[in-house]
Structure 1
Amino acid sequence: MTSQELTEKELDRRAVSFGFLIAIVLVAANLRATLTGVGALLPAIERDAALASGGAGLLSTLPLLTFAATSPLVGRVSHRLGASRLLVLSLAVLAAGTVLRSLPSLICLFAGTVVLSAAIACGNVLLPAVVRRSVPTHRIGTVSALYVTVMGLIAAVSSGISVPLSDALPGGWRTSLGWSLVLAVPGLLVWIAYMRSDAGRPAPAARRSETPWRSRLAWQVTFFMGLQSLGFYSVIAWLPSILADQGTSASAAGWMLFFYQVVALLASSVVPLLSRGHDDQRWTAATASALVAAGFVVLLVAPGLSFLSCTLLGLGGGACLVLAMTFQSRRAASPAQASALAGMAQAIGYLVAAAGPLVLGVLHDHTGGWGLPLLVLTGLSFAMAAAGFGAGRDIQLTDDSV
């Protein structure tokens, strides 16, 4: 029996500690808190900073572009520093970037956004690797769902409290942009303690896994990640505009977007229960993708059924996000390989996500309606089903010969 097999058997017998779950949850809480409140504050930022529409669009797109640029580098840095040390460094940089973004300077606003987005990209890539290293295989889906649910919950909270905080606190929107320090500082302290305790454990031989560019399975995981990200960010960017063009009031359209996120949050919590005991997740991924496609179809052919379309989009989208993160852990044969796979999937995935809303906006302007953009989103959802059907196979990269 190889040392790798022994490690896997020991891991499967190990219980997941409460302290480890708290550490994971604190990282997850910091991965969206600094970003999702920006949209609600954007009108005030444009007005006070004299920011043109193009600058506002760049401010919204910069995090995704930074994710795409940073993700491929995380595995290499993690190999040298170790995942725990890099997470500590990332949380410290995140806190510094959050402060920098809140300073009274337009340059600081953009520079801080890049800095904190690079730190978040490290967390995005490292979480699947840390989960792969520390969680028994049959618990990976549950732990992944836990941190995805926390990400969604904090994202919704950040969107909701940013404007009230801006109105209530001195400094307005600049102070509101810094509220997430109350999450970054505890997360940093907990991970410093976890790193110290981790340093006392015998470490496996350091190995670095190359990015699996030639693996069909890796590309299926990557395309599934990219297409679910494109669908999510397209809905976030354009759903209120689509509903408004169909006659829904601006207030009602905003509430429908909130409802979509709540349904997605609930779906992400339920996926582990539905897939418990099923290592083969092909049909789960395909069904979730089909729900997303159905949501776009209803939005296209029956505008009056926005409640139904948002329900379908939320159910499918929430499930697809959990599966996308789970695949990055479960399809890897080692923590190093999980880091490499996550770097590949997220680099390309967030690049696709950044381009998606922009391309859909161009199609809308060119055609004067939302028919073609929604047809494109429907087609891409079926492509996501095909990618998910491949990525959901119960195999790992080392088992994939094509």
Structure 2
Amino acid sequence: MSDEPKTLAAAPARPSSALRDPISAPQAGRGARWTLGFVTAGLVLAALNLRPAITSLGALLEEVSATLHMSGTVAGVLTSVPPLCFAVFGITAPRLARRFGPAAVVCAGMAAILAGLLLRPLATGTAGFLAASALALMGIAVSNILMPVIVKRYFPDRIGSMTGLYSMALALGTSLAAALTVPMTDALGGDWRLGLGVWAVLAALAVLPWLPLVKDRTGTTRTEKGAPAAPAPAEASATASRPMYRSRTAWALACFFGLQATGAYITMGWMPQIFRDSGVPASTAGVLLAVTMVMGVPLAFVIPRLATRMRQQGPIVVALGTCGLVGYTGLLLAPSGGAWVWAVLLGISNCSFPLALTMIGMRSRTGAGVVRLSAFAQSVGYLISIPGPLLVGVLYQHSGGWGVPIALMGGLMVPQMIVGVLAGRDRTVEDET
């Protein structure tokens, strides 16, 4: 098997020697089967918790803003906090993973999400609410970065299917939080604090499967005959010495990640409000956001598997971007009349996220390279996405409507498609650095 991404994607029976580096799959055996079971459960539960802290807030943003006396601009700042935290804290993930092991860092990330979700309802002002949100988002940030790394390490021969599995769980958690937050809040007496705090239960469950993996810091792969194979420290060291900023593919991937994240966080933060302002009831607006998010459940499993079987992922990028353009156009012209159609189309467009994660796993030959590429692409990408939700809030407040903000959202789909096609070319960052 060669080192080319297209060959890696062909789902071979065993991982190639190109994957034998310090961040690689654990040795086979009975203990390894238990380990892989915990990792699989951990991936699914962690993914379920990577968005409820955000989409649950989007569903109740109007109530939270009224209680904490937030203006439209301040609410825009609040919706910009997730990508800011992801960029700032995500860049620390590779160093933490090298020191403590990726599983231990993800475990700590789940604990941080739990703490933030428990503290956020106790906030009495905007500053405290932002601080508690930032704590949860810090845990999400490091876990975001390390999900592709965990997959590359424990499932090097199943990158597409495992990426699809946790992407599907991520989409499911996102949609559940969007759909259930308002009804649960009503059932709990209409207090938004309880409606947001109830998601801490799911976060507590996500900590458990990672606890047995905390000390699992290193691993080895098997040779073609099943014998343990020593890591290749020279190859991993060479990968670690190459600066990612010298790779055009890394930059294209970072820009693609940033633009799709911009659209995703604008959607999660503002889409319910867009529908509510057009006359849609609050509960229905939350369900519409859930429809948008739930589209990722089946597609997040299908798209990574499809992407790993293609030499270039540009056609998928263009197809998803076109759905986004049509969805935003409909949202601009008939937000309530075609609400369900626009929600479905924007949900399809948002599946650029699992595609980006899949390309991260394909654009480097080694696990060590994936760690660095994931940190670079996601951290730079989230930095790029920070102004988007804030700008939408400012434009909404000063223009007095949603015409200009929605036009901005649709316009961003064009550069997203361009850089996505560049990021999807059949090459690795090692080829360029």
Q: Is the structural similarity TM-score above 0.5?
A: yes
Work out whether residues 210 and 340 of structure 1, in 8 Å CA contact, stay in contact via their aligned partners in 2: no
Structure 1 or 2: more helix by fraction: 1
Cα distance change on mapping 1:215 and 1:89 into 2, 3 Å: same
Deviation at 1:364? Answer: 5.0
Deviations 1:24-80 (A, max 9, x none): 112212212333212333444345555555554444332322112112222122222
| Change in 2 beyond 3 A, CA 1:276/1:69 | closer
2:112 alignment partner, one of 86, 93, 98:
93
Q: Residue 325 of structure 1: which of 338, 341, 357 is its match?
A: 357
The 8 Å contact of residues 263 and 311 in structure 1, kept in 2 or not, is answered as yes
Deviation per residue, 1:292-344 (Å, 9 max, x gap): 223223444566444443332222222x1110111122212222222222222
Once the two structures are TM-superposed, the CA of residue 354 in structure 1 deviates from its matched residue by 2.8
| Number of the residue aligned with 1:340 | 372
Q: Does residue 1:187 correspond to 2:206, yes or no?
A: yes
Q: Does 1:6 align with 2:4?
A: no
The residue type paired with residue 311 of structure 1 is V
Structure 1 residue 237 displacement after superposition: 3.8
TM-score computed with the length of structure 1 as normaliser: 0.84
Ranges in structure 1 where 5+ consecutive residues have no aligned partner: none
Equivalent residue for 2:385, pick from 344, 353, 366: 353
Matched residue, 2:314: 282
SS in 1 for 2:426: coil
After superposing the two structures, state which structure 1 stretch, 49-58 or 230-239, moved more: 49-58
CA distance in 2, matches of 1:159, 1:291: 21
Mapped to 2, the partners of 1:275 and 1:13 lie a distance apart of 28
Q: How much has 1:219 moved relative to structure 2? A: 0.8
Find the aligned partners of 1:284 and 1:187 in 2 and give their Cα distance: 32
1:127, distance to aligned residue in structure 2 (A):
0.7
Higher mean alpha-carbon deviation, 46-55 vs 112-121, is at 46-55
Counterpart for residue 127 of structure 1 = 147
Q: Distance in 2 between matches of 1:57 and 1:367?
A: 14
* Structure 2: distance between partners of 1:310 and 1:396: 35
Higher RCO (CA 8 Å, separation ≥ 6 residues): 2
Query: Is 2:427 aligned against 1:395?
Result: yes
**Secondary structure of the corresponding residue to residue 19 of structure 1:** helix
C-alpha contact 1:71 1:122 (8 A) present in aligned 2 = yes
CA distance in 2, matches of 1:339, 1:302: 43
Instruction: Pick closer, same or farther for the CA change 1:210–1:108 going to 2, 3 Å.
Output: farther
SS for the counterpart of 2:246 is coil
Superposed counterparts of 1:22-101, under 5 Å: 22-49=41-68, 55-101=74-120
Who is 2:280 aligned against? Answer: 249
Specify every segment of 5 or more residues in structure 2 that has no aligned partner in the other structure, as ranges.
Answer: 4-14, 221-229
Alignment RMSD: 3.5
Separation (CA, whole Å) in 1 of partners of 2:392 and 2:259: 14
Distance 2:332 2:297 in 1: 24
Report which stretch shifted further, 349-358 or 214-223. Answer: 349-358
CA distance in 1, matches of 2:414, 2:325: 7
Contact map agreement 1:12 1:135 (CA 8 A) in 2: no
- The alignment of Structure 1 onto Structure 2 pairs a total of residues equal to 397
Distance 1:41 1:2, change over 3 A: closer
Q: 1:382/1:29 Cα in 2 relative to 1: closer, same or farther (>3 Å)?
A: same
Judge conservation of contact 1:65–1:350 (CA < 8 Å) in 2. yes
Look up the equivalent residue of 2:129 and give its one-letter code.
L
Whole-angstrom CA distance in 1 between matches of 2:330 and 2:184: 36
The 3 A distance-change label for structure 1 pair 249 and 88 is closer
Cα–Cα, structure 1 residues 378 and 86, in superposed 2: closer, same or farther, change >3 Å? Answer: same
Segment of structure 1 superposing worse, 333-342 or 292-301? 292-301
Name the CA distance, whole Å, in 2 between partners of 1:42 and 1:374.
18
The TM-score normalised by the length of structure 2 is 0.78
Aligned residue for 1:86, secondary structure, equals: helix
What is the distance in 1 between the residues matched to 2:2 and 2:273?
56
- Which of 257, 260, 263 is 1:231 aligned to? 263
Deviation at 1:161, TM superposition (A): 3.1
Q: 1:117 aligns with which of 122, 125, 137?
A: 137
Q: Paired residue for 1:313? A: 346
Deviation of residue 369 (structure 1)? Answer: 5.4
Partner Cα distance (2:287, 2:295) in 1: 12
Distance 1:210 1:184, change over 3 A: farther
